[in-house]
């Protein structure tokens, strides 16, 4: 199966979908991947007033929480399964995502799951 890389235009479509359901972020911090540094992403952010912050080259510790998540995702999900199709991969990844976000409390979130933490933040913003 060929690798499924994300291009800048695909990233922008995903960000648009997220913006419709969650609103626009004030800023996005990313590594220097080509999908984040390309014209599509830069134009999208500029048109919507979203600030972009890129970590310094060779400094993944500036995005340590993302690097930690990526390692956990790779170790617990991607390396544990042999995907027979893209559809199969989507099912497995979605199951892992739900467990990670809805069933696993995080110390860094005060013992809440990411879903519960997000709900609490949204409730505070409404009040």
Q: CATH no. for residue 8? A: 3.30.420.10
Query: What contacts 66, CB < 8 A, 6 or more positions away?
Result: 31
Q: How many CA atoms lie within 13 A of 119 on its CB side?
A: 7
Total of domains in the chain: 2
Full domain range(s) for residue 46? 1-54
Residue 75 and residue 127 in one domain = yes
Q: Does residue 1 have a pLDDT over 60?
A: no
One domain, residues 68 and 121: yes
Q: Chain-wide mean pLDDT for the chain?
A: 90
pLDDT (tens digit, 9 = 90+) per residue, 3-28? Answer: 566 788 899 999 999 999 989 999 99
For residue 114, pLDDT beyond 70: yes
pLDDT of residue 3: 57
Query: Residues 98-106: what's their mean pLDDT?
Result: 96
pLDDT score at 53: 92
Answer yes or no: do 85 and 126 share one domain.
Answer: yes
- Give the span between the Cα atoms of 102 and 119, in whole angstroms: 11
Render pLDDT for 33-58 as a digit per residue (tens, 0 to 9). Answer: 878 888 999 999 999 999 999 888 88
Query: For helices 86-102 and 64-76, what crossing angle results, to 10°?
Result: 120
pLDDT at residue 51, rounded to an integer: 96
Radius of gyration from C-alpha coordinates of the chain = 16
């Amino acid at each position: 199966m060929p690798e499924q890389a994300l291009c800048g235009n695909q990233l922008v479509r995903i960000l648009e979908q997220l913006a419709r359901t969650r609103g626009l972020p004030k800023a996005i911090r990313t590594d220097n991947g080509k999908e984040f540094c390309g014209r599509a992403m830069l134009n999208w952010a500029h048109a919507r007033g979203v600030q972009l912050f890129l970590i310094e080259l060779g400094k993944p510790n500036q995005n340590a929480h993302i690097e930690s998540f990526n390692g956990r995702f790779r170790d617990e999900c991607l390396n544990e399964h042999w995907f027979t199709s893209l559809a199969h991969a989507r099912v497995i990844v979605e199951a892992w995502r739900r467990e990670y976000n809805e069933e696993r409390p995080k110390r860094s979130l005060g013992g809440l799951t990411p879903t519960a933490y997000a709900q609490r933040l949204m409730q505070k913003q409404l009040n």
